[in-house]
Structure 1
């Protein structure tokens, strides 16, 4: 436990592949059963590459029927082929949904009558401020608003599940940011894509316990997790300098996806409303000045619910 905590607080060691390798030694008895997700339906957004694809493959290998939820069907079909190669006996398919586009989210949700696991993985890191057609900043729409709307629309399907789990894939970068409850659309100050990304990842983590309470009566458990530093196409495209700097220390995509898969499949289910990394719940705050005032997360949720209801 002491080694685990030291790895986490030092960041570089804990988020790198070294942290995964050292911790993995203690997990053998904690791995989900090979058929842990047999008979269950799992939806994974942003599954056309990287962490999303690796998460989809991990869930499929545990027996789940997996829907690769993608914005680009051509890329999604290529990812589908790779997932099938890793889990040839699994039932997997693609479905189109741009989570930043509320109309696309509604259309997709209307065609999905079953859902036991919902993994919110889709992500963007834009070089400049962009807005969706509905007028929302793109990282907020992709990381918070669209996923919230999708979960709300799938509540009947999730409610019908015997063990529904919703998992938000956040980022350790969220530790650098406070909750931007007074400017969720990032309209003020100098815009930086990496900051926008970290701000909205902070929102995911702060909303996790609030949403866990909101959906508790429906039997829906809510978790958030971060993957550490994983080598993915998204990282290469968005942060090439960082990728060159840490290079060999980066985790493989499947290693970054491990905790999301574990949260979906382990029995008994983990305590809801918490933030996880490498199968251990982690503090939501490490730096001074990032802890929100009482009621701020609830205030942000009210803003988000109003935004997606228009």
Structure 2
């Protein structure tokens, strides 16, 4: 290992642990000077990608990045009108891109089943980006807490439904878009629906983001034998409509330091297309580098809790 690698590694570690510098645009700008190489410009030519929550923010930015690398991109959205608007904007950025808009509310398990059953043909990349930070506790028609249904149950069900297509791919990949906020929470399999205590939207969001990271690891093991790679990542602090709407005070204070959606989505696209990411499996990434999933020893979940999460997801999505 060279002196340069030692120094850059130490700087990267320090930014990661101090959060503010590492999660902001400052961290992005610093790390891109020494991070892993970009995929080839045609890395995804002939491949098909599906991005949930693709009408704005990180989802739309990821769709742009995937299309630029040659992928056919399915934009999965709740509102088709907004989806078509996003499609037009992506075509302005990537003329000639092949894009398809599909409607699916990830919090509605019936809608997820219908979408998954109707999706036909090739699928090489599945990006679970859709999420919500609810101001108060609410339940879906299926009786599940909204943030949980959107970020965990819906994606779990959709991954299972689309797994035959991913297994048929020569290089199937799944990416869960989590959040650095998950570091603040342990896996709460004892209260996954957040029925106990006073509800807080930011806490609920962080809880389900922790679940996503564990779920990605579990899906990595489930699909490993079939050659499908599953990763999770966090984008840092990005200036997206979701942040400005759900966390207005945080957005107002940190706006000068927030990443662009394109910067936040960079690792999503890199995980979908790079050879390096394809040689790993079940990892948690930020700025093109594997990151620890826990900083505090008492936050580590037991193997029993991890399996209980899988059982819960399986039972809830039957």
Q: TM-score, normalised by structure 2?
A: 0.95
Matched residue, 1:264 = 272
Matched, 1:238 2:246: yes
> Which residue is 2:14 aligned to?
6
CA distance in 2, matches of 1:290, 1:258: 28
- Gaps spanning 5+ residues in structure 1: where? none
Report the Cα distance in structure 2 between the residues aligned to 1:202 and 1:301, rounded to whole angstroms.
13
Paired residue for 2:258? 250
Matching residue of 1:204: 212
- Given the alignment of the two structures, is residue 37 of structure 1 paired with residue 49 of structure 2, yes or no? no
Partner of 2:182: 174
> CA shift at 1:82, angstroms?
1.0
User: 1:97 aligns to what?
Assistant: 104
Alignment of 1:113-132 (within 5 A): 113=120, 114-132=122-140
* Residue aligned with 1:166, SS: strand
1:296 counterpart (296, 301, 305):
305
Give the RMSD, CA atoms, in angstroms.
1.0
Q: Distance in 1 between matches of 2:57 and 2:287?
A: 17
Aligned-pair CA distance for 1:288: 4.3
Q: How many residues align?
A: 308
SS of corresponding position for 1:85: helix
Deviations 1:274-294 (A, max 9, x none): 100000000001134211123
Aligned residue for 1:273?
Answer: 282
Task: Tell me the distance in 2 between the aligned counterparts of 1:287 and 1:175.
Answer: 8
Query: What displacement does 1:155 show?
Result: 1.1
**Match for residue 231 of structure 2?**
223
Structure 1 length as normaliser, TM-score? 0.97
Asked if 2 retains the 8 angstrom alpha-carbon contact of 1:48 and 1:76, the reply is yes
Question: Which residue of the partner structure matches residue 6 of structure 2?
Answer: none
Aligned equivalent of 1:73, options 70, 74, 80 = 80
Q: Distance in 2 between matches of 1:218 and 1:152?
A: 13
Instruction: Give the gaps of 5 or more residues in structure 2.
Output: 1-8
Structure 1 residue 283 corresponds to structure 2 residue 308: no
Contact 1:176 1:287 in 2 (8 A): no
Any residues of structure 2 matched to 1:45-60 within 5 Å, and which?
A: 45-60=52-67
Q: What is the rounded CA distance, in whole Å, between the counterparts of 2:304 and 2:217 in structure 1?
A: 12
Structure 1 counterpart SS, 2:176: strand
- Determine the C-alpha separation between the residues in 2 that align with 1:294 and 1:215: 18
Secondary structure in structure 1 of the residue aligned to 2:231: strand
Deviation at 1:106, TM superposition (A): 1.4
After TM superposition, which residue ranges in structure 1, 4 or more long, deviate above 6 angstroms?
none
Partner secondary structure for residue 261 of structure 1: helix
